[in-house]
Amino acid sequence: MPVFYDQDTKIFVLETRNTSYIIGINQAGGVQSLHWGEKVNHTDCVNMLKPHSHSSFDPNIEKEKEECCPWGGLFYAEPSIKAVFFDGVRDLKMTYETHTINKSPDELIVTMKDEYYNMEVDLVYRIIEEFDLIERHCIIRNTGEDSFLMENAGSAVWNIPNPDNSKLTYVSGKWAGESQLRQYSLTEGKFVLESRKGFTSPNFNPWFALSNEAADEEYGTVWFGVLAWSGNWKITVEKTSFGNVRVVGGINDFDFGWEMLKGAAFETPVFVGGYSNQGYGEMSRKLHEYQRKYILPKEHADKPRKVLYNSWEATGFNVNAEEQMVLAEKAAKLGVELYVIDDGWFGTRNNDQSGLGDWHVNKNKFPEGLTPLIKKVNALGMDFGIWVEPEMVNPDSELFRAHPDWVYGFPTRIGSLGRNQLVLNLSKDEVKDFILDFMSDLLANNNIKFIKWDMNRPVSEPGWMEVPEKRRKEIWVRHIINLYAIWSKLKSMFPEVVFESCAGGGGRIDLGMMRYADQFWASDNTDAFDRLSIQEGYSYAYCSKAMMCWVTDPINYLNHRKLPIRYRFLSAMMGSLGIGGNLNEWSDEDLGEAGRMVGLYKEIRHIVQEGKQYRLSSPGSGKAAVQYTDDKMNESVVFVLGHSQQFAESPFRIYLKGLAPERTYLVECEGEEVLRMSGGGLKNVGLPIALKGDFGSKIIRIKAVD
Ligand code: GLA
């Protein structure tokens, strides 16, 4: 039984395939964490439910590990819930009221209730048994007549069992440098990861991993959590003076307010947590499989991602029917399956200074509309896709002139521009309707099979002055609720359309968005060398199927680094492949090689997109090696990309993972060297790899032959 309650001990047990998650109700009616990790017997946890006092300065609750942390009484650690009642009282006293255990899905709901006011909180735990994951969220309810104001509505508090597990792994980044891995060993105090920018942001991503000091890719105990939210979020990792390691996360309480009217229920985003006793590698693989099975939109979750071409780096805003057709012909010859036209096709959008918001085709560039280009693309055997940035407006646009009140802002302030644009107030229903209308017209009137939805600046001056003061801080959440509602509606109206989430690259990659977005644009940085570390950081929490990677020009526009075509392809083939270079300038030799690499990718993409991923060697070591293996251990593919050869180094060895030890495999390296080895040999003896010169690269294919 994945969930059960022991009435005698007042303990709940949530079991996954390999873990126990145990909580109990203490004498004060608090819900306490007792264990999370390896399977144990819940009766061994009973002692932990007893109060453990220290001094009048350090209330009992500081030694306990609460599952939900309302701010009130003697609670001083980071709270997960904070409210102000109608009479000005801002102190919560919530205790266990009741619980429900459900089947399919396996679920525990523990209801807590304030002892005086009509406020209830459901702590919802849903078990994803096969991946050792628990999805948690809260439902906060007003069951009375008087309204109250929520000032904090966190999704979950995760308690990490042992203070030795204090090594925090997370990602930090910026535009063109997203998802850089960081590690930090906690001492007492708080470490906050967050976004206050109105979107997920490229600066930090809403996930954490806490492990023992020695944990690595293969060994060690790791507790981790990923938050499904695309707006302002906050994850506070705290080590208390008593050594408790706790993680509180959810919607950011900074500048947050939500009025709870009579009968209201507020559902927080899901924060999914898990445990691995085989290091970060197993953590990632559990998350990847979970995303493919439960999170990615059903319509396309099982279908291969198509090889796409995008014209942005080739043409910038200078798009027109004729030149796009020329590029489309060249892309089709390479085996591209989806042709995407980027920014610049609408309004007066000749640069980033005007036209954003005017979603009608620019007749100078496309005199007969998009249809001739779409027909041409379809005749070449490709689907057609298009770029949009619906949440934004240039002040120099018809939309802004008609609706200057549709943007966030304060009356005494001039709105700060970012990339010459302002953010539409998507909290307003008329803005939501406008976006839904133009997007459904665009999709209904054109044979469009792919949308790249961009967001190129953060929210600022977050004013919404037309609503009563108490409701103004709701914008941070309402924007995202309406965004999700639009995506959900569009997905149900146009199930055949694939959606990509982009925010100047990887600024809106998160589990919340992944329920609607089939894929993410991981970064505007298309330098194949930089990409290796961006992709490595991305892979900690997210699956390769949803990671779009383009091969661009030989000299990259950002770093001006020149890279060989094979290296560029192999770097991009570790996710879902796209091409984004100016094909008009590629040599015949490069075009020939590109065609071969696209062909090769199509042969292996089922392994890359659906298989188990093993990070064999980090790009930081100068030799990046990533392996993907299909579920049945029949086939595997390994990408090895070196930085530079030094000191006359001889071949180095890579040690493969995830193969059946007793089976025999045929190893093919670039079609040149062929050898046979057992799975055990590939793991323990390893495979010699020789790279040549700077930016050498190899792809190795492995197939079971018995
Ligand atoms: C953002 C995206 C790019 C491109 C441009 C277009 O920067 O990340 O891929 O679409 O906008 O303006």
pLDDT digits (tens, 9 = 90+) for 688-701: 999 999 999 999 99
Across all residues in the chain, what is the average pLDDT?
97
d(CA 381, CA 385): 13
Residue of 174, 340, 502 to test ligand 1 pocket, by largest number of atoms within 8 Å of CB: 502
CA nearest ligand 1 atom 6, residue: 343
Q: How many C-beta neighbours within 10 Å does residue 263 have? A: 11
Tens of pLDDT, residues 366-375: 999 999 999 9
pLDDT at 673: 67
pLDDT at 499: 98
- Determine the average pLDDT of the residues in 266-272: 98
CATH code of 617-704, in short, is 2.60.40.1180
- Looking at residue 454, its amino acid is D
Q: What is the CA 90 to chain-centroid distance, rounded?
A: 35
Can you give the three-state secondary structure of 253-317, one letter per residue? Answer: CCCCCEEECCCCEEECCCEEEEEECEHHHHHHHHHHHHHHHHHCCHHHHCCCCCCEEECHHHHCC
Question: DSSP readout, 138-150?
Answer: EEEEE-SSS-EEE
CA nearest ligand 1 atom 7, residue: 504
Whether residue 140 has pLDDT greater than 70 = yes
Tens of pLDDT, residues 90-105: 999 999 999 999 999 9
503 CA distance to ligand 1 middle (Å):
8
Whether residue 471 has pLDDT greater than 90 = yes
Q: Which residues have CB under 8 Å from 22's CB, separation 6+? A: 11, 12, 13, 14, 33, 34, 35, 36, 40, 42, 45
- Determine the average pLDDT of the residues in 481-485: 98
Q: Ligand 1: residues within 6 Å at CB? A: 312, 342-343, 387, 454, 456, 502, 504-505, 521, 524
Known catalytic membership, residue 441: no
631 CA distance to ligand 1 middle (Å):
35
Torsion angle (degrees, nearest 10) of CA 112, 116, 117, 118: 60
d(CA 68, CA 118): 17
Question: DSSP readout, 512-565?
Answer: HHHTT-SEEE-BS---HHHHHHHHHHHHHHS-GGGEEEEE--SB-TTT--B--H
Q: How many C-beta neighbours within 10 Å does residue 304 have? A: 15
Whether residue 669 has pLDDT greater than 90 = no
Residue 484 binned pLDDT confidence (cut-offs 50, 70, 90): very high
Among the options 454, 527, 530, 553, which is catalytic?
Answer: 454
Whether residue 37 has pLDDT greater than 90 = yes
- Determine the average pLDDT of the residues in 79-83: 97
Cis geometry, peptide bond prior to residue 105 (ω within 30 degrees of 0): yes
610 CA distance to ligand 1 middle (Å):
27
Point out the least confidently predicted range of 56-60, 538-542, 547-551, 553-557. Answer: 56-60
Residue of 312, 501, 521 to test ligand 1 pocket, by largest number of atoms within 8 Å of CB: 312
Whether residue 131 has pLDDT greater than 90 = yes
Residue 601 binned pLDDT confidence (cut-offs 50, 70, 90): very high
Eight-state DSSP code of residue 66 = B
Q: What is the CA 676 to chain-centroid distance, rounded?
A: 39
Whether residue 672 has pLDDT greater than 90 = no
Q: What angle separates helix 321-334 from helix 371-379, to the nearest 10 degrees?
A: 20
**Ligand 1 atom with the shortest distance to the CA of 524:** 8
Q: Which residues have CB under 8 Å from 170's CB, separation 6+? A: 181, 182, 184, 193, 204, 205, 207, 208, 209
Q: Do domains 70-295 and 617-704 have the same CATH topology?
A: no
Residue ranges per structural domain of the chain: 70-295, 308-610, 617-704
Residue 59 binned pLDDT confidence (cut-offs 50, 70, 90): confident
Smallest Cα–Cα separation from 696: which of 640, 636, 618?
640
456 CA distance to ligand 1 middle (Å):
7
d(CA 264, CA 120): 11
pLDDT at 650: 79
Among the options 342, 343, 358, 524, which is catalytic?
Answer: 524
454 CA distance to ligand 1 middle (Å):
7
Q: What is the CA radius of gyration of the chain?
A: 26
204 CA distance to ligand 1 middle (Å):
20
**Ligand 1 atom with the shortest distance to the CA of 352:** 12
Residue 61 binned pLDDT confidence (cut-offs 50, 70, 90): confident
Give the dihedral sign, CA 651/654/660/662.
Answer: positive
pLDDT at 442: 98
Whether residue 308 has pLDDT greater than 90 = yes
Whether pTM > 0.85 for this model: the answer is: yes
- Determine the average pLDDT of the residues in 408-427: 97
d(CA 448, CA 446): 5
Known catalytic membership, residue 87: no
Tens of pLDDT, residues 436-454: 999 999 999 999 999 999 9
> Has domain 70-295 been given CATH number 3.40.50.2300?
no
Fold of 308-610: TIM Barrel (3.20.20)
